[in-house]
Copies of this chain bind each other. A is one copy, B any other.
Amino acid sequence: MAGANIQLDGEGRLRHFLTTDGLDRRILTEILDHAESFAVVGDRPVKKVPLLRGKTIVNLFFEASTRTRTTFEIAAKRLSADVQNLSVNLSSTTKGETLRDTLRTLEAMHCDMFIIRHASSGAAHFIARQVSPHVSVINGGDGRNAHPTQALLDMFTIRQHKPDFASLKVAIVGDVTHSRVARSDIHALKTLAVQEIRVVGPRTLIPAGIETLGVQVFNNMEAGLKDVDVVIMLRLQRERMRSALLPSEQEYFRCYGLTEERLKLAGEEVMVMHPGPINRGIEIDSRVADGERSVILQQVSNGIAIRMAVMAMIAGGKRGAA
C-alpha cells in the first residue's frame, strides 16, 4: 500500500520499481505488454534501441551479484543508456561518507536511475525515499524482501505459455522463508488473480502465517505438486545446511528435489521454472532442469526484456509529485 504510493507518480505512472506488493493489475500488465516489444529486440541482428540514449544508469550494488548486475547492464546498454557500475562496500563507510551523501553526489552528477542490490530488506525503499524527484530507483533484490524484476520475468514467462492466469495452479517450492523471489512472485501471482498459489517446503523453511498472503502451505512435496500448471523452484542457499535448518543436501533432495517422477504428479503441460543459478541434484534433478518442461533459459532471456521494459517505462514517465 505504502509501496504503491512511492512507486507511482501523481498520474499513476511507474516512478520507482521496488516491489510487486501494492502494484495493481493494470500496471503489472502494462509492464508485461511493454516487455513483449523488447523481447523481440534480442533476436534482431542489431540488439539496440535508442530509447535511453544520453541517460546515466548506476548499478549501485551493496551486495555482490555478477549475474544480476550483468542482466541490468545488458538491458541498459540495449536501451543505449550509459552504465556506471559502483560496488559500495564498507570501505566507503570507513571513508566516512554517509549513504545519503553518496546518493546526493550521484544525483548531482545527473544520474537518472539507480539499480539497488542490498543484503538488507527495505534498502531499496529507504533509498527511493531519499532520492530527488528526477531520479528513479529499481530494486535488484533487497534482503528477503523483494526482487520485483525477477517476479515480473516469471509472470512474463508464464503468460507466454499459459495466458489465462485465472485458471492456473502455481507451486513455489523450497526455502520460502529466505526468498525474496518467493515473496515477489506471490504478490504478483495474487494480483494477476491466479486461481491457486501453493508454497511447498519443510516446516523450517516456510514462514509462519504465510497463509495470510492467500497461499496454501504444503509440507509434502507430492501433495504440493498435484495437478499444478507451474512449478517455481527456489534456489537453496547451501548455507542453510550448516545452520541446522536442514539436515543435508541428500536428505533435502530426497524430500523436496524436483525429479522426473515427481513431476508426473503435476499437470501434463506443467512449466518448470527456477530463478537460477541452479543447484543440480539439490533442489532439482538435471533431467528436469534440462527437460522439455523446463523454461529456465526462457526466463533468462525474458529477464533482459523485462528489465528493458521497466527502465523504459520509468524513463518515459513524466515526473509528478512523488
Show the binding face of A for B, using Cβ within 8 Å.
42-48, 53-56, 66-67, 70-71, 73-74, 77-78, 82, 84, 86, 92, 95-98, 101-102, 104-105, 107-111, 238, 276-280, 282, 297-298, 300-301, 303-304
Q: How far does the alpha carbon of A42 sit from the alpha carbon of B86 in the complex, in Å?
A: 20
- A-B pairs with the 4 shortest C-beta distances? A46-B54, A108-B300, A97-B277, A48-B54
Given A110-B42, A297-B105, A300-B108, A96–B53 Cβ distance below 8 Å? no
For A278, give its contact among B53, B67, B97, B111 (CB under 8 Å).
Answer: B97
Q: Is B96 touching A238 in the complex (CB atoms < 8 A)?
A: yes
Residues of B within 8 A of A78 (CB): 54, 56, 82
Rounded to whole Å, the gap between the CB of A235 and the closest CB of chain B is 9
Q: Is B84 touching A74 in the complex (CB atoms < 8 A)?
A: yes
Q: Which residue of B lies closest to A297 (CB)?
A: B108
Q: How far does the alpha carbon of A111 sit from the alpha carbon of B67 in the complex, in Å?
A: 13
Given A47-B56, A54-B45, A54-B47, A101–B304 Cβ distance below 8 Å? no
Q: Is A277 touching B74 in the complex (CB atoms < 8 A)?
A: no
Residues of B within 8 A of A47 (CB): 54-56, 110
Residues of B within 8 A of A82 (CB): 48, 74, 77-78
